[in-house]
Amino acid sequence: MKKIIFITTLFAIIQTNAHAQNGGITTENLLQIKKSYANTATDKAIHNAIANNDINKLAVNAENQTKLNGDFSDKVTTKGITDQKSSGRCWLFTGLNVLRAQAITQHNLPDLQLSHNYNFFYDQLEKSNLFLQGIIETRTKPVNDRTVEWLLKNPIGDGGTYTGVADLVAKYGVVPQDVMPETNSSNSTSRLGQIIALKLREFAIELRNMPANAKAADITNRKTEMLGVIYRILALNLGEPVQKFTWSRKNNEGKITETKEYTPLSFYNDFFGNDLIGNYVMLMNDPSREFYKVYEIDFDRHVYDGHNWLYVNLPIDEIKNMAVKSIKANKAMYFSCDVGKFLNREKGTLDVNNFDYESLFGTKFGMNKQQRIATFASGSSHAMSLIAVDVDDNGKSKKWMVENSWGDTGYKGNLIISDEWFNEYMFRLVVEKQFVPSNILELLNQKPIQLPAWDPMFSADE
């Protein structure tokens, strides 16, 4: 019996060593690895510091703290700071903030706050329809089909992109904030999102289980009934969207100059009127793909009958040239980036030199932008309004400023961006066509290169 146990144990050891030799960490490997940590007095001091403090507080580059200030050569006129609270609606706040700045300037308004809750209601309803229609169109495919799997993993969300702003505003208009104010569920969207996602997945099972020969009209009618359930959930959480409202316009002294009844679309046409779909171009800086090409991401839209995310991929300097022209013309822009990288929240700055991780840990971090994208180390995560640039005597940009939607945080509700950070972590910019050179506009005549919904650059702004 002892002989059998010994042989079994010996076999297990041999198997373990075999696995280690094929890529596992052997005892010899571990001894060699441990030599990299000498546990010197310096190492002990660093460990004690990190064990009791936030890494970023220890890695703050003291020599860099006064580099970025709030002085800019060119700045868009805007008033008021917004707060998306605990929601992923930065894309909607950014889009409406760009419009708000324009209306304040054009109509000489003392201020104008728009209802994000109003457009968010229709965003969630439209996304629910987009999902259900996608399930209907793929219901004969196996559940492990890549598109079906992606749909079921992503039934709905509160993030988005500029195309969502354009399609929702064009279809439903906008309303002032006091007409449809925020609610607890609009300020903190996660619970509502979980409930709707659960119901949508339940509906998906039902639609996929309908008979293969079911009439298209019957399927459509059932989908409409399902959307009625979603509408009720949204109305209970967010309030029902207004159809008509009365709004009083005031001058800079606070006196009412006009009181008028509007619909959401007539209000938009009276105070904005932009062709958000046809008069704007989405630009991207993605060095992992070929420049001067147009890309379209399938199913990357908020509205089923709306527009997929379509962008022109360009070198960063060409995008910056258009951005400078827009700011000089007092036009804010939809801007999205990888905001979590090298963000100094207290000072409200984004700079690759904000934190010195290399000195703290004694190792280089050497990936470039292309490599970070390819390895999923970086991608667009947050949208803000680009409102200012500081240029030198030769017209070259030195730093930038964005209006954020995190309330009165950072630099007076804004973030100041170094030009080097802009190069490395800016991804998307939406510019009016008047600031886009003709040779770039001609690229839009290309047949777009189609990318799947699960492409890494699909990630919504939150």
Q: Which residues are catalytic?
A: 90, 382, 404
Alpha-carbon gap, residue 462 to 460, rounded angstroms: 6
Residue 193 near residue 233 (C-beta atoms within 8 A): no
- For residue 30, give the amino acid letter: L
Alpha-carbon gap, residue 403 to 421, rounded angstroms: 16
Both tokens assigned to 156: 């709905």
CA dihedral 282, 419, 91, 414 (to 10 degrees): -150
